[in-house]
Amino acid sequence: MQKTLITIGLILVLAGILWPWLAKSGLGRLPGDIVVERDNFRFYFPVTTAVLISLVLSLIFWLLRK
């Protein structure tokens, strides 16, 4: 359990460090991401981005298990 929590923490720190470059790549603005903008209100739900990240992480973990 400790190794898992440390790994998740390191991944989150790495994602935070890389966030400026990830934002420029278009990740988070894919077709299928839901964005509702109104006066003084913005709702953002990245459906497609979440599915894409999930697939990539699943592939990486699958390859590491082999």
- What does the pLDDT look like over 14-62, one tens digit per residue? 988 988 887 787 777 889 899 999 999 999 898 998 899 899 989 988 8
Q: How far apart are CA 12 and CA 26, in angstroms?
A: 19
Q: How far apart are CA 11 and CA 31, in angstroms?
A: 26
Query: pTM of the predicted model, to two decimals?
Result: 0.62
Element containing residue 32 per DSSP (H, E): none
Reading the block at residue 34, the tokens are: 């839901």
